[in-house]
Amino acid sequence: MSRGFRNSDETQALEEKATSEQINAILERDREQASHAADVRAHGHYGVCEDCGKPIGAERLEALPTATRCVRCQAEWEQTNRV
Ligand SMILES: [Zn+2]
């Protein structure tokens, strides 16, 4: 095995570790989002974007019941809160 291969194995191991950390962070964020969505629902704001105040599309809520932002605000939020 050449040195080059060894290095690439190590790089891959590091990448795999980063990936599982990212997955954990995403799962954690999903849990937080789910409890946040339950909170929003409890206050009667379910289905309204918490950033712009516009209604969240029914299709989006059906696909993602924990959504508390419209597609546009969610995309912006993800840009600034990237895991
Ligand atoms: Zn919005």
In CATH terms, the fold of domain 3-80 is Four Helix Bundle (Hemerythrin (Met), subunit A) (1.20.120)
State the Cα–Cα distance between residues 67 and 58, nearest whole angstrom. 11
- Ligand 1 midpoint to CA 60 (Å): 12
Q: Is the confidence at residue 6, as pLDDT, over 90?
A: no
The DSSP call for residue 57 is P
- Ligand 1 midpoint to CA 49 (Å): 5
- Ligand 1 midpoint to CA 70 (Å): 4
- Ligand 1 midpoint to CA 34 (Å): 18
Backbone angles phi, psi at 48, to 5 degrees: -115, 135
Say if residues 49 and 56 touch (Cβ distance below 8 Å). Answer: yes
Q: Is the confidence at residue 50, as pLDDT, over 70?
A: yes
- Ligand 1 midpoint to CA 50 (Å): 7
Span of 21-30, 61-70, 74-83 with lowest mean pLDDT? 74-83
Q: Is the confidence at residue 16, as pLDDT, over 90?
A: no
Mean pLDDT of 57-72: 95
Residue 14's pLDDT band, with cuts at 50, 70 and 90, is confident
- What is the sign of the dihedral through the CA atoms of 66, 69, 75 and 81? negative
Q: Is the confidence at residue 1, as pLDDT, over 80?
A: no
- Ligand 1 midpoint to CA 21 (Å): 29
The encoded tokens of residue 81 equal: 């809160």
Q: pLDDT tens digits for 24-39? A: 999 999 999 999 999 9
